[in-house]
Each structure stands twice: as C-alpha cells, then as structure tokens.
Structure 1
Amino acid sequence: MEVQETEVQTDRVFTIPNLLSLLRLLGVPLFLWLILVQEADLWALAVLALSGITDYLDGKLARRWNQISRVGELLDPLADRLYIFSTIVAFVLRDIIPLWFAILLVSRDVLLLCLVPILRRRGLISLPVHFLGKAATFCLLYAFPLLLLGIGDGTLHTLAQVFGWAFAVWGVALYWWAGVLYVEQARRLLRTGVAAEPEDEHDQ
C-alpha cells in the first residue's frame, strides 16, 4: 500500500519537501557571500545549520506525507552536492580545511560523475540513493558548521574543532565507502541493463 501511494505522487512538483530543497539551493550563494565577502561567520554558520535541518526535514516530511516526487529526488542530492562543494571551496579559501582534504572529498564526486555518460548510454539515468550515502552527507553537513564554529580560541572553539573533525573524518570515510558501493552498483546495472530498486529507501 505504501509503495503504491509513493508511485501515485512521483510527478508532483509543488510540495513542501521540494520547497525546502529549493530554499537550500537558494541558500548556497547566500552562504558564499556571507563567508567569503562579508566574513560574517555567525550568519554563515546559521545558513549551514539551517541547510542541515532542512536536509533532514525534506526527506522526513516527504515520507510522512507521501510527497516523494521525481523532482525531489533530483533537488535533494543536488542541494547536498552544491552545499558540500561550495563549503569546501569557501573553507579552503579561508584556510579552515587543508587543500588535500578538499581534494579527497571532490575526487569522489568526480569519480561518480565519470559514470554518468556510461550509464546514460545504456539508458540508465541515475543510481538509487542508499542509506550509507545519506549518512555520509549528514556527517559532513554537521562537520562544516562545527569547523566554522571552531575558528578562534577558547574551550568552545576547541571542542567545536574536535567534534567537527571527528564528523569530517567519518563523513569522508562513509562518503568514499558509499562511492565504492555506487561503482559496484553501476557495474551490476551495466552488466544486466536493468535498473535496480533503491536500497533501504525507508531509512533515507
């Protein structure tokens, strides 16, 4: 019954979860302006925190209200990737994270991006999102505000640095683990030519 309700609503566009994803997308240039131009770190921190909250809410509400849509399935990961990429660029420019850490993160997405034309030649548009990839994104979206809060001296800043880097390390590890699983998933799809069902969709 639940699967049928989801399928009926796959073409809906104007939903609250999609609006939340759109707001997250609009927040990307605002975040870059705050952190790079104004160097208003507290406001930039608020935008980052809000992006993490809305990332949780859009998926939660979409499942609870049966508002999962094809548009949402595109907007949500797009907003995640843009936030992660823009934050990496801003943090490198502000010397908050080292360049090698940024390269480690970006290279994973470059690897998966190389799979897109190969999959499309076989008629496959995208790979289903699984729980591990979402867990990695959550870790990174928690790590970035903490690392930004960790700028400065004092106990609070030190604790933010420690927990921020803990989330960052776990996020990168899960990010690459999910990337390896995506590559394996793509290999199976290319072999069979049949689209696979999303894994653990109820946990996303």
Structure 2
Amino acid sequence: MDAETPDQRDRVLTVPNVLSVVRLVLIGVFVHLLLNEHAYALAVAVLMISGASDWADGKIARVMNQSSRLGELLDPAVDRLYMVVVPVSFAIAGIIPWWVIVVLIARDAVLAAMLPVLRSRGLSALPVTYIGKAATFALMSGFPLILLGQWDALWSHVIGAVGWGFLIWGIWMYLWSFALYVAQLGLVVRRMPKVSKAAR
C-alpha cells in the first residue's frame, strides 16, 4: 500500500468521513425513536446500523487508503457522543439505572481532565488500548440487546439477559482501561519533561 501524501491526509470528503457524519445524524434519530416514538424495534435497527458503519469506516479507511486527519478526530468524537447519549437516553426511558450513567460519564470526565497534563508534555492523547476498544464494543453490543429485552416474551427476556451480561462486562473493562490510562499518564509525567508553550 502506498504511503499517504500530506494532501491525502487533509482530505475531507472520504467514505469513512461520510459514514461518521451519518452516524452523527443517527444519534438524533435514535433519541427521537426511543424517547418520543417509543419505537424500540426501529431504535435497535438504528443502533445496529451505527455499529456496522463504525466498523466499516475504519475498515474502509485502511483498505482504501482513505485515512485523514478529520477522520482521526471525527470517528472517536462520534464514538464518545454515542457513549454518552445512548446510555442517558436509556436511563431517561427507565431501561437502565442511573448509576451506569454516573460510572461511564465520570470515567470519561476524569480522562478529559488529563488532557492539559498530556499537552504540557507535547502529547494530544494517550494510545488507545485494546481493553478500551473491547469495552466500547461490549457496551455498544449490550445496549441494543437490552432494548430487545423489553418485550414480554421468553426470547426477549433471554436476549435482554445476554445484553446485561455484555453491559456489565463492558463496564468492568471500561474501568480497567481507565486504570491503564492512569498508569500511562503516570509514566508520561515521570519520564517526559514539560515542553514550552511555543513548542506545543
């Protein structure tokens, strides 16, 4: 595969970026379907489409050599937005307890508070860990399954139980990845000197 040129890195209109924008729009569609229409089946479909497009945009970026600076910012930003909006919507609808929201948001808030420390060392972010990716996968798999568990039928209860298993597994890994990020931050603080503001 050929190396990307600077011009290619500055591209905006790429297939992965379009998919990320579609996912962003679908967040609003999901909230409307869940909270206003109570159309759980359609809301599940939106989550599944969003999950599939999330996988597809990364795959396409690698296979078709369509990585871009915008994509590197937009894709994780949409992921983080989903990780806030989806569980909050579930809690508002009374599907999951609010303590789940507190855990997820508190973890991300503490990570966000680390950014000034990283920037003082000339870094923009910590490397994404496999555990963090697995946690996001488990959580985003658990939410639609829990939603499918809202019908009064045996198949629904079974799927809902599987969804709760994914959710609990995802929360545990989310906290584990948080501990790993804190450890990484400690190494950065100890081993990397502060850089001047002009060099940032």
Q: Secondary structure at the match of 2:118?
A: helix
Q: Which amino acid is the alignment partner of residue 5 of structure 1?
A: A
- Does residue 189 of the first structure (1) align with residue 188 of the second (2)? yes
> Match of 1:174?
173
Residues of 2 paired with 1:131 and 1:10: CA distance? 25
Task: Give the CA deviation at 1:40.
Answer: 1.5
Relative distance call for 1:49 and 1:67 in structure 2 (3 A) is same
Q: Which amino acid is the alignment partner of residue 91 of structure 1?
A: F
For 1:145-164, what aligned pairs fall within 5 Å after superposition? 145-164=144-163
Q: Secondary structure at the match of 2:9?
A: coil
> Match of 1:200?
none
Residues of 2 paired with 1:80 and 1:47: CA distance? 14
Task: Give the CA deviation at 1:121.
Answer: 2.9
> Match of 1:32?
31
Gaps of 5+ in 2: 194-200
Residues of 2 paired with 1:58 and 1:128: CA distance? 20
Task: Give the CA deviation at 1:147.
Answer: 0.7
- Number of positions where the alignment pairs a residue of Structure 1 with one of Structure 2: 192
Residues of 1 paired with 2:84 and 2:166: CA distance? 17
Q: Secondary structure at the match of 1:114?
A: helix
Task: Give the CA deviation at 1:182.
Answer: 1.7
Q: TM-score, normalised by structure 1?
A: 0.86
Superposed CA offset, 1:73-92 (max 9, x none): 11111111111211111111
Superposed CA offset, 1:102-151 (max 9, x none): 21222111110110122223332222223221111111111110011111
> Match of 2:141?
142
Relative distance call for 1:66 and 1:112 in structure 2 (3 A) is same
Give me the CA root mean square deviation: 1.8
Task: Give the CA deviation at 1:56.
Answer: 0.9
Task: Give the CA deviation at 1:96.
Answer: 0.7
Superposed CA offset, 1:141-165 (max 9, x none): 1111001111121122111111101
Residues of 2 paired with 1:81 and 1:7: CA distance? 29
Residues of 1 paired with 2:55 and 2:18: CA distance? 13
> Match of 2:196?
none
Residues of 2 paired with 1:121 and 1:172: CA distance? 30
Q: TM-score, normalised by structure 2?
A: 0.88
Residues of 1 paired with 2:135 and 2:115: CA distance? 21
Task: Give the CA deviation at 1:6.
Answer: 5.1
Relative distance call for 1:190 and 1:22 in structure 2 (3 A) is farther
Residues of 2 paired with 1:182 and 1:5: CA distance? 30
Higher gyration radius (CA): 2
Q: Secondary structure at the match of 1:133?
A: helix
Residues of 1 paired with 2:90 and 2:136: CA distance? 17
Q: Secondary structure at the match of 1:5?
A: coil
Residues of 1 paired with 2:10 and 2:127: CA distance? 17
Residues of 2 paired with 1:16 and 1:123: CA distance? 31
> Match of 1:5?
3
Q: Which moved more, 1:47-56 or 1:66-75?
A: 66-75
Q: Which amino acid is the alignment partner of residue 192 of structure 1?
A: R
Relative distance call for 1:148 and 1:66 in structure 2 (3 A) is same
